[in-house]
Structure 1
Amino acid sequence: MSDTLAPAASPARASTPRRRGPHIRYRPLSLLVLAATVAGAILVLAPFLLVLLNAFKSQADYSTHGPLAFPERLDLAAVQGYLEIVDFPRALTNSVVISVLVAVLGVLVSVLAAYAIGIGRIRMRTGVLAVLLLATMIPQEALIYPLFSIAQATGTLNTIWSVTVIFVVLQGAFGTYLLSGVLGTFPKELLEAARMDGAGRWRILWAVVVPVIRPTLSVLMVFFFIWTWNEFYIPVVLLNDQSAQTIPIALATLRGQHSVDMTVVNAGSFLSLLPTILFFLIFQRTLSNGVTAGAVK
């Protein structure tokens, strides 16, 4: 019996096609999208690469070959010059402290206010939201004089607390407006189930509402940190003392009255970009999860 089955099985094995790996077909539209993506990535990375290229270039090399040429050798004179002119550790500490405080306190204020507006349904809810939206639309140039007077009257001028309180209020207004719409569509079944279990308003907020909207709060905290880190106009007016200056203000001090050393400016820009790049690498997953959380149940 084994002799009769052997010839029948061999043609089946011989006819089985061999797999030599996945065969991918690229359509013209896919190639076009890929080319546009690569071109966009190059345009986005070009300024960062230009700063990196000139941060380790000598002044003579920059003057001779221009900003687009590769450096003849790596020169740390620009980095050393920037660190001699600017108290970078102090400016970095001020920026981190202000940005973290604003991010945390701004989200806390936003959650508390949006909980009252979106779920508590306070009176004149539409009018309150209109005022908050108006507060986010007012340009900073229109606010700087009263803010300067308040900081001077309260004794917080040239301290990080003046900027921290101002940005907590400004970012909190935007966060409240955003979260009010989110909490306005919060599932009523969860709230009713929590009330039936005997949970009060504070328990519902911290045990039910906050865990559900945690991805949104994480994204909002990241944006508050980035926006506060990049702020320049209000800090440059309220923080004249060098001990309270942030990184953007420290970069602005490199501009001289008649000349500017561009290698030192690029070195300072490079050192200033490093914390933000590390921040994005650390919280990249938080941003991705927060953006896609609303699309997945």
Structure 2
Amino acid sequence: MIVGRREAWTGRLLLVLLMAVTLMPFLSLFVTALHPSGSYPSGLEWPSDPQWGNFVKAFQAARMIELIKSSVLIVLGVVPLSLLLGTLAGFAIGHLRMAGRNLVFLVFVLGLTLPFEGIITPLYYQVRDMGLLNTRWAIILPLIGLFMPFGVFWMRAHFVNVPEALSESARIDGANVWQLFWRIHVPLAMPALSSLAILLFLWTWNQFLLAIVLVDDPLKRTMSGALGAFQGQWGTDMPLLCAGSLLILTPTLVIFLIFQRRFVTALLQGSLKG
């Protein structure tokens, strides 16, 4: 199908408008962060004397190094285990002929409809009874459970499209189920695994609700969760608050920009298979 010149220019114009709408809030944060501390700028007015030191001050006031360490520990606790469990379950449901696999998959699909807000109250009491309140485990363990339905759904979509002939050939050569999984299917699933890892990293790093409800100490939260305490301390200083928000946002943007090509490739492969 040949796209006409008018349709092509219309598409480009819509993309430019969409990009402008997306970047406008970040531009507003950046311009506001450069105003003198304690001022209340309006609009996108560029300051006559940009205060670049606001970023340094916000970095020190938020104790950003400690927040980064806490977020990294939480990510290391959530992402690898979520990938392992999601891959194992996705392989069993999507490729192995296990009994009741459709019913099990339906349960995981129903789990996708479960909102964080709907379980936060019972989750709080359960974590409290386990003695994990105000610890990083109060964030890690619930996130692993909450990410499981999506992880299983994502990996099952990959394994269900792998040709059965690969497994049959490996079985003829004497491979058992464990060898079949690790030596053949996991290497083939690397695009799906890498894109899932990126999503889990972004969701864990940006987790806000669980962090502020289950952990009182801001230095044990994710960076996004610690933003609530930072806002409470510096909420009247808009330039400093904007500078801190941008610093907290930067790691996720960097990770996405670095791995966006791999992520888009995995999505396109999934659409072509589906």
Instruction: Tell whether the structures are fold-level matches, with TM greater than 0.5.
Output: yes
Q: Which residue of 2 aligns with 1:36?
A: 14
Instruction: Tell me, yes or no, if structure 1 residue 47 matches structure 2 residue 22.
Output: no
> The residue matched to 1:57 in structure 2 has which SS?
coil
Identity of aligned residues (%): 31
Whole-Å separation in 1 of the counterparts to 2:132 and 2:44: 44
CA gap of 1:253–1:195, structure 2 versus 1, over 3 A, is same
CA gap of 1:134–1:260, structure 2 versus 1, over 3 A, is farther
How far did residue 218 of structure 1 move?
0.9
Aligned equivalent of 2:256, options 280, 285, 290: 280
CA gap of 1:181–1:77, structure 2 versus 1, over 3 A, is closer
> The residue matched to 1:137 in structure 2 has which SS?
coil
> The residue matched to 2:231 in structure 1 has which SS?
coil
> The residue matched to 1:104 in structure 2 has which SS?
helix
CA gap of 1:44–1:81, structure 2 versus 1, over 3 A, is same
Structure 1 segment 1-297 matched on structure 2, within 5 A = 27-59=5-37, 62-63=39-40, 65-76=41-52, 78-256=54-232, 260-294=236-270, 295=272
Kept in 2: contact 1:103–1:222 (CA 8 A): no
- Alignment gaps of 5+ in structure 2: none
How far did residue 284 of structure 1 move?
2.0
Whole-Å separation in 1 of the counterparts to 2:122 and 2:108: 18
> The residue matched to 2:13 in structure 1 has which SS?
helix
How far did residue 42 of structure 1 move?
1.2
How far did residue 192 of structure 1 move?
0.4
Whole-Å separation in 2 of the counterparts to 1:53 and 1:100: 34
Superposed CA deviations along residues 161-208 of structure 1, whole A, max 9, x for unmatched, are: 221111112112211123223322321110100101111101100111
What RMSD in Å do the two structures reach over aligned CA positions?
Answer: 2.2
CA gap of 1:91–1:257, structure 2 versus 1, over 3 A, is closer
Kept in 1: contact 2:195–2:266 (CA 8 A): yes
Kept in 1: contact 2:71–2:222 (CA 8 A): yes
Aligned residues: 269
TM-score norm. by structure 2 comes to 0.89
TM-score norm. by structure 1 comes to 0.83
The AA in structure 1 aligned to 2:80 is V
Whole-Å separation in 2 of the counterparts to 1:88 and 1:30: 45
How far did residue 155 of structure 1 move?
2.5
CA gap of 1:181–1:34, structure 2 versus 1, over 3 A, is closer
Whole-Å separation in 2 of the counterparts to 1:269 and 1:66: 18
How far did residue 77 of structure 1 move?
5.0
> The residue matched to 2:104 in structure 1 has which SS?
helix
- Alignment gaps of 5+ in structure 1: 1-25
> The residue matched to 1:199 in structure 2 has which SS?
coil
